[in-house]
Amino acid sequence: MCDAMLGRLARYLRIMGYSTKYSVEEDEKILEGLGDCILLTRDKGLCSKAGPNCVYISSGDLKEQLAQLRLEIGLPLRLPERPLRCSVCNGPLEYVGKVGDRELWRCKVCGQPYWMGSHIKRIKRTLEEVNKTLGFT
């Protein structure tokens, strides 16, 4: 569960295939809806209320945020073999088929289309950079 300050990180987590809620609700609502989720927040006060299932994200920089998750909770930073999860709504993706020479997936919940485009390559490079900085290959 990412709070409102971590929208970009939430998108990255979903593209990596991790089920990620993104909440712009007030603190109480976030805590109520937390369940078994790990809360990621840039709000120290909220984090202390959430107890042990919270990671206080100290940096505003995406790469540093990813590095923190790799180091603190051992989250592998890599892309799945094929797109799994909608970066907009967290819904599961289904394979549509080949359109031209591109393989296409679609979100089962909101209908958003996905393919392995240049944005995925950019994200992959970002993840590789962070892994390299940390000494993981």
Which residues make up the interface to Zn ion (CB under 5 A)?
A: 86, 88-89, 91, 107, 109-110, 112
Cβ neighbour number for residue 75 with a 10 Å cutoff: 16
Q: State the minimum distance, in angstroms, from the CB of residue 110 to Zn ion.
A: 3
Q: How far apart are alpha carbons 41 and 54 in whole angstroms?
A: 8
Q: State the minimum distance, in angstroms, from the CB of residue 21 to Zn ion.
A: 13
Nearer to Zn ion, 13 or 57 (CB): 13
Nearer to Zn ion, 57 or 86 (CB): 86
Q: State the minimum distance, in angstroms, from the CB of residue 88 to Zn ion.
A: 5
**Secondary structure of the chain as H, E, C letters:** CEEHHHHHHHHHHHHCCCCCCEECCCHHHHHHCCCCCCEEECCHHHHHHHHHHEEECCCCCHHHHHHHHHHHCCCCCCCCCCCCECCCCCCEEEEEEEECCEEEEEECCCCCEECCCHHHHHHHHHHHHHHHHHCCC
Q: State the minimum distance, in angstroms, from the CB of residue 16 to Zn ion.
A: 16
Nearer to Zn ion, 40 or 93 (CB): 93
Nearer to Zn ion, 37 or 88 (CB): 88
